[in-house]
Amino acid sequence: MSTFTIESTRSGFVESFHVVSAAVVDAEGTLVAASGDPDRVTFWRSAAKPFQSLPLVQDGAADRYGFGPRELALACASHSSEPVHRALAMQMLRACGCEEHQLACGPHPPLSPTVAEEALRTGVVLTPRWNNCSGKHAGMLALARHHGWDPRGYASAGHPVQERIHDEVAKWTGLPRDAFVKGVDGCLAVALALPLRAMATAWARFGISEEPSARRLREAMLAHPELVGGKGRACTDLLMAFRGEVVVKIGAEGVYCAALPRARLGVALKVEDGDARCAAPALLAVLQAVAAQQGIALSLAGLEHHAEPRLLNTRGEVTGTLRAVGELGFA
């Protein structure tokens, strides 16, 4: 069995390592390559957001409330709580006649260290719009409004919004509805656990689909990478650097997913110990291996700080790196 690991070094010594399970599949669900356990069942977390946002477009809510590419990109985002992100989330709420207090997601410190430091320094009171999922939740509220469903409890299991999303995830993954494990995500929305292979299948299909809703969301993410993550964030930097060759979305607990449209492949990975620091270098290692095997030129120029992040001490001095070692096993 081939396995990628992410080594954490300190002063040239390997201090710890983090095992990576990954599945690379085509749109039919055929396994093309793997690391570790490609059938590892784990929660999809925020890497599911494009699929959670598909009903918003398919059912006509996005058009009804005037959601264009920027709003759709934010619906798929794990944003950094930058002013543009917070303002756009509020615009989405106002467009569908909702208010911030209706967001089920609670506030948390911004994912951007810069924005978090500024918020702490200025003593700002964090509210739900600051949540990295506020765009997704605004989209869910818009879907409820569009169908005339009671928006109360829209994020909870059994609500029509979550049931509609559940149907969509089943369609794209090819799994029956009863195959999913249901949990509660950090933002209070329903989180679904499923095999990495099924996640990768959905992403492979998302990358090449000509279905209007999928195409609009995909193109929105590619057109507005700054809204999908934020300044300096891996999702934003990768979307910008790869110029449509790859569509990516991170999830919590070491999950990362991607589509390679030209190769007609999808990728899903899980850093087994959940170390989020290792997700981006793991994804880049997998993407580089797949691109080389497929004959696709995928330059990592400008992405070195994501491919091999430097580890710093409290004085800002480099003490080591995170680096990918091992190999991907091709079928």
CATH number, residue 193: 3.40.710
Reported as a single tens digit per residue, the pLDDT across 86-116 is 999 999 999 999 999 999 999 999 999 999 9
Retrieve residue 242's tokens: 């790869």
Q: What is the pTM of this model?
A: 0.97
- For β-strands 247-251 and 190-195, DSSP reports them as unpaired
Q: Report residue 248: phi and psi, to 5°.
A: -130, 155
Q: What is the mean pLDDT of the chain?
A: 97
Percent of the chain at pLDDT exceeding 70:
100
Is pLDDT at 1 greater than 90 in this prediction? no
**Helices in 82-192 by DSSP H: which ranges?**
83-95, 113-122, 134-147, 160-173
Give the sign of the dihedral formed by CA 24, CA 30, CA 32, CA 35: positive
User: What is the residue range of 15's domain?
Assistant: 4-330
Give whole-number Cα distances, 105 to 130, 171, 184, 187, in Å.
9, 26, 11, 5
Residue 320 near residue 11 (C-beta atoms within 8 A): yes
Give whole-number Cα distances, 153 to 50, 132, 241, 301, in Å.
21, 19, 39, 45
Using CA atoms, how far apart are residues 320 and 69, in angstroms rounded to an integer? 40
Partner residues linked to 41 by β-bridges: 195
Domain count, the chain: 1
3-class DSSP state of 242:
helix
3-class DSSP state of 36:
coil
Reported as a single tens digit per residue, the pLDDT across 144-180 is 999 999 999 999 999 999 999 999 999 999 999 999 9
